Structure 1
Amino acid sequence: MNGLLVTIAIVASLVLAGWGLLATVRNRPPDRGQLIGLAVVEAALLVLTAAALVAWAGGDGPAEVGTFVGYLVTLVCLPPLAAVLARMEPTRWGSVIVTVVCLVIPVVVVRLQQTWQVAGG
């Protein structure tokens, strides 16, 4: 997996988590900026997913395919799920949802990278 893409996805997610935390502390619902941030994080995750699939098609791949695919599907579904739930909860708790999901994403990205490195390593 591409280390630069992993770093971009993690940093984007953590920046958005900080933004969501600030909105939560200020007792603010998720704003349009947070939803756009989720779209940016989703785009970064889709690029990461595409790069992983291209590398996999090229012969490099994970040792545990089922675990890798499970993490990959979960990773791609998290930002849209957060956006829907945050829109359904137009209070500070919507910002909490964005924050928590954006703190989970780096963990899943690291686990995805670890399952990839088992095969390469």
Structure 2
Amino acid sequence: MTDLVAYVVAITCVLVAGFAGWHTIRRLPFGNPLFYAVGVLEVVLIALLVGGSIALASTSRDVDGVLFVSYLVTLVVIPPAAVLWGIAEKSRWGTGVVVIAMLTVAVLSVRLLGIWEGTYV
């Protein structure tokens, strides 16, 4: 887990959150472009889960493995849950849920870096 990976994931999440925020402000329903944007992010998060698990298995760092893996899994679970909620909620707040979820994933990815580096316990 490197700084670059964590911040690229966080920036990607913020971009998707901005796109969803634009949908919310314009009162647009949850549509295919937003679905595809979250889908691309989900692929990145799955790659982070696999890469982070491999890095954890091969490191000699003092990392809390259970906490680290639980953050990785949480990062992967939040976007699909937000998409399901966004599709089910027909008002503008369906996309608002996606905004909050993507910002949450951005914060969790930075927190994950702190766990990896041992600065957060």
Normalised by the length of structure 2, the TM-score is 0.89
The structural deviation recorded for 1:61 is 4.9
> CA separation in 2, counterparts of 1:44 and 1:50?
10
Cα-to-partner distance string for 1:19-69 (whole Å, 9 max, x where unaligned): 111111111111111111111111111111111111112134552222212
> CA separation in 1, counterparts of 2:82 and 2:16?
12
Name the count of aligned residue pairs. 119
The answer to whether the Cα contact below 8 Å between 2:20 and 2:96 also exists between their aligned partners in 1 is yes
Name the residue aligned to 1:29: 29
Tell which deviates more after alignment, 63-72 or 95-104: 63-72
The answer to whether the Cα contact below 8 Å between 1:78 and 1:105 also exists between their aligned partners in 2 is yes
Q: Which runs of 5+ in 1 are unaligned?
A: none
Aligned residues with identical type, % of pairs: 29
The structural deviation recorded for 1:15 is 0.7
> CA separation in 2, counterparts of 1:41 and 1:6?
13
> CA separation in 1, counterparts of 2:5 and 2:63?
21
The 1:2–1:58 alpha-carbon spacing in structure 2 relative to 1, beyond 3 Å, is same
Q: Which runs of 5+ in 2 are unaligned?
A: none
Name the residue aligned to 2:91: 91
The answer to whether the Cα contact below 8 Å between 1:29 and 1:94 also exists between their aligned partners in 2 is yes
